[in-house]
Each structure stands twice: as structure tokens, then as C-alpha cells.
Amino acid sequence: MIEGNHEGLRVASDVRLGEGVRLFGLVNLYGCEIGDETRIGCFVEIQKGAKVGARCKISSHTFICEGVTIGDGVFVGHGVMFANDRRPRAVAEDGAPLSDSGWECQPTLVKNGASIGSGATILGGLVIGENAMVGAGSVVTRDVPAGMTVVGNPARPIPPPNPENP
């Protein structure tokens, strides 16, 4: 069952939607899986082969490409971009246009409970660990361990808060 604003929804017949999924206007979904009770904001595209877990929040203007797997309870802020090819090209060395077989999809895994801030870019071939946090506007170029917070371009760890000096 799809709840929410149905205006402008483009949900292909091959999409697998869990129970209680909420979609809001101008969403484009094809060939993907969305878990139970996940909310997907306006202007979101999720491509074939991508998987979004249960009880996630995917904010507006986000792009989730082929090869991305998002665990349960993950927050994805506004305008987050996932990439799946570290060396994208439009043409081969001889100048001929590349076909779909002319590239290698580099899968990305976002584990349960992670949080990705608005405007972040996540490169392909990475793992963002459980309960990790990616700061707004960060460019993630390497794995983020569980529980770690990273910020910046390229994203770097920040020290955990000091409970004695908040």
C-alpha cells in the first residue's frame, strides 16, 4: 500500500514495496526494493537494483543509484547523491559511446541506523557502518566505521564529544 501524496509518482511494476511505505509527489522508482514503513520524499529517484530497508527516511531531492543497499532505520538527508562508478566515462578509448556493459557497478552498503546529512555525496564501493554519521555536505571517499562521525571534503573523522567538556 502506498500512502502519501500520489501526484507525480512514477513507480514501475517491478518495484517491491513493503507494508506502510509512504511516497510523496514526483518520485521515480524502478527495479528497486523499499522496506516496510519507509518514507520517501519528493523528487527522489531510486534505480534498479537498489535496496532500501525498513523504517528509513529518504528526504527530498535524493538520488539512490544501482548497487546501493541501505539498511534499516537509516536517515538520508535532502539532496544526497550516491555514485556507483569511480571512473565514469561516456565513450570508449576509440570514441565510441559506451553501452551499459561498458562500466563496472561498485556497490555501496549503508548499514542499519546510519545517518547521512543533507547534500552529502557518497562514492561507490564503500561501506558506511552501523550508526555512523556523515555530516551535511561531506564527500565520502572511503569506508566509515560503525559509530563514527565524518565531515568535510574529503570526509574525515571528527573526535567524539568529550563528556567532561561538552
Domain boundaries of the chain, sorted by first residue: 1-86+105-159
Show Cβ contacts of residue 74 under 8 Å, excluding neighbours closer than 6 positions: 52, 53, 56, 57, 110, 112, 113, 114, 115, 116
pLDDT tens digits along 7-55: 678 889 999 999 999 998 889 999 999 999 999 999 999 999 999 999 9
50: closest CA among 7, 78, 84? 84
Q: What percent of the chain shows pLDDT beyond 90?
A: 75
pLDDT value at 1 more than 60: no
pLDDT band for position 166 (50/70/90)? low
Q: What does the longest C-alpha to C-alpha distance in the chain come to?
A: 62
Q: Which CATH class is domain 1-86+105-159?
A: mainly beta
Distance between terminal CA atoms of the chain?
Answer: 45
- Round the average pLDDT of the chain to a whole number and report it: 92
Q: How confident is the model at residue 3 (pLDDT cuts 50, 70, 90)?
A: low
| pLDDT tops 70 at residue 63 | yes
